[in-house]
């Protein structure tokens, strides 16, 4: 991909070039995370993990801040079609993540 991945993700989200999976729609409701939280926090997106060989498309775990909370969003990129897919979102578990909520704890 010729363009920076984070720039591409932000571009797609800001222009609403997004597919929302069935999975994310179910998870958002159960986890009390709004689409607005994901969409409006785009300027604070930070890639914290990369999965270039993910099942269907390269995906990236993005950390973002909405109001006073940290949210992780798994986003797959489809650069050929200029679209991203939001796969899941959650509030990071402090037992699994370091204090910064951006670094996974070693087991």
Could you tell me the mean pLDDT of each successive run of 10 residues in the chain, 107 residues long?
A: 84 97 92 96 97 94 96 96 97 95 90
The reported pLDDT for the residue numbered 107 is 73
pLDDT at residue 93 in the model:
95
Q: Contact 46/35 with Cβ under 8 angstroms?
A: no
8 A C-beta contact, residue 73 and residue 12: no
Instruction: Give the per-residue pLDDT at 106.
Output: 85
Domains of the chain: residue spans and CATH: 5-90 (3.30.2310)
The answer to whether the CB of 94 falls within 8 A of the CB of 56 is no
What pLDDT score does 45 carry? Answer: 98
Residues 15/73/75/56 CA torsion (nearest 10 deg): -150
């Amino acid at each position: 991909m010729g363009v920076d991945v984070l720039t591409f993700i932000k571009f797609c989200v800001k222009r609403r070039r997004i597919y929302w999976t069935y999975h994310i729609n179910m998870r958002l409701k159960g986890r009390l995370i709004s689409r607005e939280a994901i969409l409006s926090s785009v300027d604070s997106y930070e890639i914290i993990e990369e999965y270039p060989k993910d099942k269907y498309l390269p995906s990236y775990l993005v950390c973002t801040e909405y109001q006073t909370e940290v949210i992780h969003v798994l986003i797959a990129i489809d650069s050929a079609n200029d679209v991203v897919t939001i796969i899941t979102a959650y509030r990071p578990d402090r037992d699994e993540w370091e204090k910064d909520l951006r670094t996974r704890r070693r087991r």
